[in-house]
Chain A
Amino acid sequence: MIKTITDDLAIVLAGEAGQGLQSIESILAQLLKVSGYNFFSASEFMSRVRGGANSTEIRVSAKRAAGFLDRIDILIPLHKESIAHLKKRITPETIVIGEEDKIGYPGMIDIQFTRMATELGGAVYANTVAAGFICGLLKIAEQECANFILEYFSRKSEEIRSRNLAAIKKGYAAGKGLSGIHISMGKNAAVKTDLLLSGSDAISLGALAGGCDYVCGYPMSPSTGVLEKMASYAKKFAIVVEQVEDEIGVVNMALGAWYAGARALVTTSGGGFALMCEGISLCGMIESPLVLHLAQRPGPATGLPTRTEQGDLDMVLHAGHGDFPRIILAPGTLAEGFALTQMAFNLSAKYQVPVFILTDQFFVDSRTNTPAFNAGDFKVEKHIVKTEKDYKRFSLTDNGISPRGIPGYGSGNVCVDSDEHDEDGRITEDLDLRVRMVDKRLKKFAAIGPAIIPPRLVGDGNFRTLVVCWGSTFNTVCEAVAALGEKDIAVLHFSWLFPFPDQAGAYLRKAANRIIVENNSSAQLARLIRQATGVAIERQVLKYNGLPFAVEEVQREIRKFI
């Protein structure tokens, strides 16, 4: 029997940490894109450097599709444990390909990647053989594979290059010659000029375009990717990148940087952010800008360090003691990840409030192709004034925003204090002034109003059922809802969470049937929505086992409610 796969293929590579799943993914990502295929990958892995059981899903499609699939069309297990690890996702439809003697899965197709690699000079080439095999299955032009592999290893020695070339060719021949699978995949030339980005890439490029010149952080999964990306740009773009002794130091350093006129980015995850809360409160008090990227992972405490969750919205909403305004963003796509991060710097500088960008492990570690975005459309707005002798950092203004001076630029003094302070920034216990200062800070909520981005409606404008989601679940939820094939259903996705967009109320009230989809255990956005609009969403699709939502799963769960 020949299995036919048309226009949408889900391959899963599975193995232990250290076996090189990422290098196969990396080769395929670029090679498939240059060949005109849409590419999406998502990885789930254990918190260990060696061993265990990890997997990477690679989705190749004729149409753009960046949703995570539960389905596995082809599974390539690199070790025996992969089978048990993925047993819930393996069905009779799944084709398992690999080293039969090692994996021992009944009915699998035996391809001896390691032996083929050893014949070429070492087991180390097995990953390239595997990548070549997949290219052969897809019948990508062989010359294209060869050219790519020489380019990919261009910085390596001649020996390594030629062996990898031989490896990709050998794998290719095995893939192409395999009977039993027929893959027909539509190509799209436009994909070739797309960008190929991970979520970490999108956030980092957005920071560059936002004029970021100072980055500090403390390594913590899954936020470290952005710290490392920014470090890789440090020289070229004149960015100070500092690994600080702890997250308390991180946030205070970032505030010092903004105070001195820099545009600082903090990147962290939930546990690190928890340590920063007093600093967030200081940010509110001294009305400093601050851009903070928080890549969420499951908590509480250390939780599941390398996995995904949308569990920190509540914390970010309430972080820091006392009342002060803030902005919370949560990109749903790579384009939003770039644009919102870029915008975060201007928003923060303009309103002098902390701006949080909430992503998660699924978002930062996934990779897909996306139409190129244009940094030329963006302007860096510094919102810094040259000070005069009598400059007052916290001058009382109609909209609560005081012109922001920085020390050393102008003749004035720039005084900021964590205590309640007067217009000049000096400590005060004048309790009437205290009230005026609180009111001043809170006035900024109204000032921010016009900048708020309303939630995006995708689907039928005459919806009866509204599926509500936020942040990283956008692609998966949209695909699931489209796949339902129902009329009068739409998705309402929030990428701007706070101050809560009032426009959401009308959508929510219009829906006869409201469903929320959140990658957490308590429907944190639903709670915020109820607080802001009075609308309760009782139909909840929640997931909190550390894995991202799959398209099929969301489809199935929504179906129960319509």
Chain B
Amino acid sequence: MENIFDFKDKIDIAWCPGCGNHAIRQALLAALEELHLGREKVVLVSGIGQAAKMPHYIRTSFFNGLHGRGLPAATAIKACNPELTVIAVGGDGDMYGEGGNHFLHASRRNPDITLFVHDNMVYGLTKGQAAPTSRPGMETPVQVFGVFEKPLNPMALAISLDVPFVARVFCGDVGQTKEVMKKAMAHKGFALVDIFQPCLSFNKVNTFKWFKDNTAYLPDDHDPSDRAGAFKKSLEEEPFPLGILYESDRRSTFEENLEVYKKDRSPLYQREVDMKMVEAEIMAKR
């Protein structure tokens, strides 16, 4: 069977051979197919970066906007048509750096969208500068004395903001990546999956082997519904825990909170303004 989300013909993919993005794409294609989503109901949203090119390689509608600005667009798309499955995708720089403020506030709004962040701890498209998740000591053409800033911890940050689905996977395990992606997409509310990924061209420190050696699957007895426990776990580094750290169904979504859907579930584009009501509103100013 052909995957309806894949292209029939071979496409020109701009990623380096062996890049972790290929594995993430395979996992995403499989996850989309296994969830039996209608192709015309899926929208991928991205910013700029190597990861943000993903929408071009999946056969769905997409909004490939500006660097760092995927989340506001994705939030609005879902808010205007809740029937769509909206997936935002980007790299660590796109989502945690340039788009960091939007990440914080998307977490507060809790739109029912999924966010996949390709986290390779380096800037790929701009060729090798530090990312917000780069480890201290990494030398780059810009950070010539080595990175000395504290790396951003997206897991702890998201749990602190009560993002209702927070997970981390390593693209070297395509099986777990796909399964967690499926759960994230099925989860109601904002779901973050941080995907560890080696950058073969520009990150000579955090290699495939490094990720292998510095990650550990969450133990079977990890309770993702325990926020404090999940937060504590999220602070662990080297090895970084892999799996669903936190999952909660306690928060209502942005769309659920919108007054416009309280009585009428239809997407905004299907509605018509009642000019008689507008007229009455104008006349009320007499």
Contacts and interface: CB of A to CB of B under 8 A. Distances in A.
Interface of A: 192-197, 201, 205, 208-209, 211, 213-214, 216, 233-240, 242, 244-246, 248-250, 252-257, 259-262, 264, 278-279, 282, 286, 372-376, 378, 380, 382, 384, 387, 406-419, 425-427
Interface in B96-113: 101-102, 104-105
A494 B83 CA distance: 43
Q: Is the interface of B mostly helix, strand, loop or mixed?
A: helix
Given A380-B272, A427-B53, A416 B63 contact: yes
Given A195-B282, A279-B69, 16 more contacts: A201-B285, A205-B278, A240-B80, A240-B258, A240-B268, A244-B72, A245-B104, A249-B69, A256-B63, A256-B75, A376-B279, A407-B40, A407-B84, A415-B61, A418-B65, A427-B64
Contacts of B75: 253, 256
B221 interface: no
The 7 closest A-B pairs by CB, nearest first: A261-B269, A256-B73, A256-B76, A260-B80, A407-B61, A245-B105, A252-B72
Contacts of B102: 245, 249
A248 B69 contact: yes
A211 B81 contact: no
Interface string B241-282: 000000000000000001110001001110111011111011
Nearest to B259: A235
B116 to A, nearest CB: 18
Given A209-B278, A252-B66, A261-B81, A195 B72 contact: no
A415 B66 contact: no
Contact of B77 (A193, A260, A409): A260
A261 B43 CA distance: 13
Contact of B101 (A205, A233, A249): A249
A252 B73 contact: yes
29 contacts: A195-B282, A196-B285, A201-B285, A205-B285, A213-B271, A213-B273, A233-B281, A237-B273, A237-B277, A238-B271, A249-B105, A252-B66, A253-B72, A256-B65, A256-B76, A260-B79, A261-B81, A261-B268, A279-B66, A374-B279, A406-B269, A407-B84, A408-B40, A412-B40, A413-B61, A415-B55, A418-B65, A418-B66, A426-B56
A260 B41 CA distance: 11
A261 B66 contact: no
Contacts of B105: 244-245, 249
A192 B286 CA distance: 7
A410 B80 CA distance: 16
A93 to B, nearest CB: 35
Contacts of A417: 56, 62, 64
A255 B65 contact: yes
B187 interface: no
A410 B39 CA distance: 11
Contact of A408 (B63, B73, B81): B81
B59 interface: yes
A408 B275 CA distance: 26
B48 interface: yes
Identify which of A256, A279, A413, A414 gathers the most chain B CB atoms within 10 Å of its CB: A256
Main SS class of interface, A: mixed
A410 B64 contact: no
Contacts of A196: 285-286
Interface residues of B, number: 55
Given A238-B264, A410-B40, A412-B40, A260 B81 contact: yes
Contacts of A245: 101-102, 104-105
B269 A409 contact: yes
B60 interface: yes
B158 interface: no
Contacts of A412: 40
Contact of B76 (A214, A238, A375, A410): A214
B143 to A, nearest CB: 26
Query: Which has the most chain A C-beta neighbours within 10 Å: B81, B83, B84?
Result: B81
Contacts of B275: 209, 375-376, 378
A260 B84 contact: yes
B74 interface: yes
B45 A238 contact: no
A557 to B, nearest CB: 35
B283 interface: yes
Given A208-B273, A427-B56, A372 B283 contact: yes
A168 B260 CA distance: 42
Contacts of A414: 61
A257 B76 contact: yes
A378 B40 CA distance: 33
Nearest to A254: B76
A259 B269 contact: no
Contacts of B61: 407-408, 413-415
B267 A408 contact: yes
A248 B70 CA distance: 11
Contact of B64 (A235, A376, A418): A418
A132 to B, nearest CB: 23
Contacts of A192: 286
B226 to A, nearest CB: 29
A248 B102 CA distance: 9
Contact of B48 (A234, A250, A418): A418
Which of A201, A236, A418, A419 is most buried by chain B, counting CB atoms within 10 A of its CB? A418
Contacts of B277: 236-237
Contacts of B55: 415
A377 to B, nearest CB: 9
- The interface centre, meaning the residue of B53, B62, B64, B72 with most chain A CB atoms within 10 A of its CB, is B72
Given A240-B260, A260-B76, A408 B41 contact: yes
A47 B137 CA distance: 47
B63 A259 contact: yes
Contacts of A194: 286
A378 B101 CA distance: 40
Nearest to B108: A245
Nearest to B255: A240
B81 A238 contact: no
B190 to A, nearest CB: 14
A81 B81 CA distance: 54
B281 A193 contact: no
Contacts of B56: 417, 426-427
B32 to A, nearest CB: 13
Interface string B33-57: 0000001110101001000010110
A261 B80 contact: yes
A234 B53 CA distance: 36
B48 A407 contact: no
A244 B277 CA distance: 28
A416 B64 contact: yes
Contacts of B41: 407-408
Contacts of B286: 192-196, 372
Nearest to A342: B278
B65 A282 contact: yes
Given A240-B80, A245-B101, A408-B267, A259 B64 contact: no
A384 B69 contact: no
B77 A205 contact: no
Contacts of A372: 282-283, 286
Contacts of B53: 427
